[in-house]
Amino acid sequence: MNSITRQSILDLDDLRGRAGGDAALVAELLFIFDAEVLPEARRLAEGAVDPEARSAAAHRLRGAALAIGAGEVAAIAAAIEAQPLEGAALPALGAALDRLAAAIAGLGRDDAERNAE
């Protein structure tokens, strides 16, 4: 798991590049991830997804995480996808999701502070 933890929790440069530098699109993608992907991802991390369905859930999470530049979450999701009956990576996923959610929330605060200036 050491190679997983060394990856970026959120690579904003990658996301901005994918969004063509469109700040509104970046914000929308992060909002959608936070509102729609994170709740299901947390269910996966908590072990609330049946082991038989983990591979598909992890696959969806991996794709969504890659789309926003969340490399660490994507790498952990790939490990779960490859071995869905193993639960060893679930706690690492939960911790990474917490860090990712905090990073996304921090961006919202940073934007609000910039707009208030």
**Rounded distance between C-alpha atoms, residue 30 and residue 21, angstroms:** 14
Number of domains into which the chain is organized: 1
pLDDT in tens, 83-98: 999 999 999 999 999 9
Supply the pTM of this predicted model.
0.86
- The pLDDT assigned to 18 comes to 93
To 5 degrees, how large is the angle CA 73–CA 38–CA 7?
A: 15
**Rounded distance between C-alpha atoms, residue 96 and residue 77, angstroms:** 10
In this structure, what CATH number is given to the domain that contains residue 36? Answer: 1.20.120.160
pLDDT string in tens for the chain (117-residue length)? 333 444 689 999 999 999 999 999 999 999 999 999 999 999 999 999 999 999 999 999 999 999 999 999 999 999 999 999 999 999 999 999 999 999 999 887 655 344 334
Q: Check the CA dihedral 112-32-87-73 and report its sign.
A: negative
- What is each CA distance from 92 to 7, 27, 55, 114, in whole angstroms? 13, 26, 16, 33
For residue 112, give its domain range.
Answer: 2-116
